[in-house]
């Protein structure tokens, strides 16, 4: 996903007066200092009916659940989150955009207590400059297995998409890139089974059947993962969620990653061992996915239209 740098940000109080719109939340915010914030990454796509956000309510419900799991104090319900996110997207003027709502501590308070200050909603919208290539032209990702495992559920609620947990993803990604790979599989902390990639879920195709690590292992319940499970069943594929060992990934005919930002990405190799260049199952699912997100196929319930911006009122006559 290629993003423009001209990000549009929308704040919806409380705490908004302490936010400098040009600089965002203050450096002294606990969310900045300690990673105590929750967020979502969502995609808006140009469709024949105008811009539409993909699985908006599912993302916002996951953010509310992340906030509940952390026990942060905030004043937002689903309708207000939906209104603000749609307004930010409409105001940005983007048809193709990457939309990031997040709940942040907006006040500079030196405390890590999550109920000390109310959390404030900010929504960033990044224009997506070039659409990703269509399958089968999508380049493959070279994966390794990371020494950095997903945090244990005894250390962190595994269903929460919180800012601080991305340090472990960053460590794994950086180590993988330093070793000449693009990304890494991270293992479940306790079982040593495959959990997910650093910012994406993982799927295998073995003997024509699709499988993905079950949510019992320590992974984010990806919304793209859920969409792929549904689209694969729509295509008549046999689909299972279960425990996945690293050896099973090596044995698969096709492997691919799923996430909102990267969408569906084929895996070219794992630790230098290549997968077949032909990816018929990936190509079929990725084609169905792109047709769905861009409004050229079914599941209209997954697309929320972005209301058009109100036109600026005409300038009135000059008052004497
Ligand atoms: N796992 C992790 C760790 C992620 O950061 C993401 C991206 N949100 C995913 C999986 C994929 O989730 P989704 O499909 O909801 O973007």
DSSP assignment string, the chain: -EE-S--EEEEESSSGGG-BTTTBS-TT-HHHHH---EE--EEEEEETTEEEEETHHHHHHHHHHHHHHHT------HHHHHHHHHHHHHHHT-SSEEEEEEEEE-S--S---TTSS-EEEEEEEEEEEEPPPPTTSPPPEEEEE-SSPPPPTTTS-TT--BGGGHHHHHHHHHHHHHTT-SEEEEE-TTT--EEEESSSEEEEEETTEEEEE-TTSS----HHHHHHHHHHHHTT--EEEE---HHHHHH-SEEEEEETTTEEEEEEEETTEEPPS--HHHHHHHHHHHHHHTTSSS-GGGEEEPPPPPPPPPPPPPP-
C-beta 97 within 6 A of ligand 1: no
Residue 55 lies in a domain: yes
200, 262, 285, best to mutate for ligand 1 pocket (most atoms within 8 Å of CB): 200
* CA-proximal residue: ligand 1, atom 10 (nearest): 200
Residue 121 shares a structural domain with residue 168: no
**Measuring from atom 12 of ligand 1, which residue has the nearest CA?**
222
Per-residue pLDDT band at 5 (split at 50, 70, 90): low
Q: How far is the CA of 220 from the centre of ligand 1 (A)?
A: 6
CB 146 near ligand 1, within 6 Å:
no
- φ, ψ (nearest 5 deg) of residue 199: -140, 30
Residue nearest to atom 4 of ligand 1 (CA): 199
The pLDDT mean for the chain works out to 92
Task: Assess if residue 276 is contained within a domain.
Answer: yes
On the question of pLDDT at 227 being above 80, the answer is yes
- What's the confidence (pLDDT) of residue 221? 97
- Residue 301 falls inside a structural domain: no
Q: What is the pLDDT of residue 226?
A: 98
211 near 204, Cβ under 8 Å?
Answer: yes
Give the CATH number of the domain where residue 44 resides. Answer: 3.30.470.10
Q: Is the CB of 213 under 6 A from ligand 1?
A: no
Do residues 95 and 212 both lie within one domain?
A: no
Do 107 and 149 lie in one domain? The reply is: no
The per-residue pLDDT for 236 is 97
pLDDT tens column, 134-144 = 777 788 999 99
Kindly state whether residue 314 falls inside one of the protein's structural domains.
no
Measure the N-to-C terminal CA separation of the chain; round to a whole number of Å.
Answer: 52
CA of 319 to the centre of ligand 1 (A): 54
Mean pLDDT of 232-250: 98
Q: Select from 53, 259, 263, 264 the residue to mutate for testing ligand 1; criterion: most ligand atoms less than 8 Å from CB.
A: 259
Provide the pLDDT for residue 113: 86
pLDDT of residue 282: 96
Q: Encode pLDDT of 47-58 as tens digits.
A: 999 999 999 999
Are 172 and 287 contained in the same domain?
Answer: yes
- CA 41 to ligand 1 centroid distance, Å: 8
From 155-159, 213-217, 299-303, the region with the lowest mean pLDDT = 155-159
User: Dihedral sign, CA of 108, 109, 113, 114?
Assistant: negative
Give residue 221 CA to ligand 1 midpoint distance, Å: 7
Same domain, 181 and 280: yes
**Which range has the worst mean pLDDT, 126-135, 186-195, 274-283?**
126-135
195 lines ligand 1 (CB under 6 A): no
Q: What is the model's pLDDT at position 265?
A: 96
* Ligand 1 lined by 218 (C-beta under 6 Å): no
**Co-location of 106 and 148 in the same domain:** no
In a domain, 313, yes or no: no
Same domain, residue pair 17 and 111: yes
Q: How far is the CA of 194 from the centre of ligand 1 (A)?
A: 15
Nearest CA to ligand 1 atom 13: 222
Count how many domains the chain has. Answer: 2
- If asked whether residues 151 and 110 sit together in one domain, one would say no
Q: Which domain holds residue 253?
A: 141-294
pLDDT of residue 39 exceeding 70: yes
- Tell whether 304 is covered by a domain: no
pLDDT greater than 60 at residue 316: no
89, 199: one domain = no
User: Given pLDDT bands bounded at 50, 70 and 90, which one contains residue 2?
Assistant: confident
Tens digits of per-residue pLDDT, 77-117? 999 999 999 999 999 999 999 999 999 998 887 788 888 88
Compute the distance between CA of residue 265 and CA of residue 138 in angstroms, rounded to an integer. 7
Q: Is 229 in the pocket of ligand 1 (CB under 6 A)?
A: no
| Cα(320) to centroid(ligand 1), Å | 58
The angle formed by the CA atoms of residues 161, 166 and 171, to the nearest 5 degrees, is 155
Last-in-domain residue among 96, 130, 164: 130
Q: Which segment, 27-31, 116-120, 137-141, 144-148, is predicted with the most confidence on average?
A: 144-148
Does the Cβ of 89 fall within 6 Å of ligand 1?
Answer: no
Report whether residue 200 contacts ligand 1, using a CB cutoff of 6 Å: yes
The whole-number pLDDT of residue 320 equals 47
274 plus 145 within the same structural domain: yes
CATH of the domain at 149: 3.20.10.10
Assigned domain for 171 exists: yes
Q: Which tens digits make up the pLDDT trace of 260-270? A: 999 999 999 99
Same domain, 184 and 257: yes
How far away, in angstroms, is 313 Cα from ligand 1 center?
Answer: 41
Residues 104 and 212 placed together within one structural domain of the fold: no
């Amino acid at each position: 996903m290629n993003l423009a740098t001209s990000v549009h940000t929308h704040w919806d109080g409380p705490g908004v007066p302490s936010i400098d719109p040009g600089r965002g939340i203050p450096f002294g915010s606990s969310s900045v200092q300690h990673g105590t914030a929750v967020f979502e990454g969502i995609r808006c796509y140009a469709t024949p009916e105008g811009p539409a956000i993909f699985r908006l309510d599912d993302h916002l419900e996951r953010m509310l659940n992340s906030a509940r799991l952390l026990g942060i104090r905030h004043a937002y319900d689903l309708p207000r989150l939906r209104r603000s996110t749609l307004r930010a997207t409409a105001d940005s003027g983007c048809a193709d955009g990457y939309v990031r709502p997040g709940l942040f501590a907006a006040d500079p308070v030196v405390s890590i207590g999550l109920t000390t200050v109310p959390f404030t909603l900010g929504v960033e919208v990044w224009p997506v400059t070039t659409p990703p290539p269509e399958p089968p032209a999508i380049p493959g990702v070279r994966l390794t297995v990371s020494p950095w495992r997903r945090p244990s559920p005894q250390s962190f609620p595994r269903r929460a998409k919180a800012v601080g947990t991305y340090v472990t993803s960053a460590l794994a990604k950086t180590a993988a890139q330093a070793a000449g790979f693009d990304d890494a599989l991270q293992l479940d902390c306790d079982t040593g089974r495959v959990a997910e990639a650093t910012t994406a879920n993982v799927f295998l195709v073995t003997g024509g059947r699709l499988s993905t690590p079950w949510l019992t292992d320590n992974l984010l319940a990806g919304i793209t993962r859920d969409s792929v499970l549904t689209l694969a069943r729509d295509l008549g594929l046999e689909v299972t969620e279960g425990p996945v060992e690293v050896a099973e990934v090596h044995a698969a005919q096709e492997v691919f990653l799923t996430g909102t930002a990267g969408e569906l990405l084929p895996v070219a190799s794992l630790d230098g061992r290549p997968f077949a260049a032909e990816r018929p199952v990936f190509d079929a699912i990725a084609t169905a996915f792109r047709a769905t997100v861009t409004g050229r196929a079914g599941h209209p319930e997954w697309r929320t239209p972005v209301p058009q911006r109100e036109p600026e009122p005409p300038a009135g006559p000059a008052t004497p």
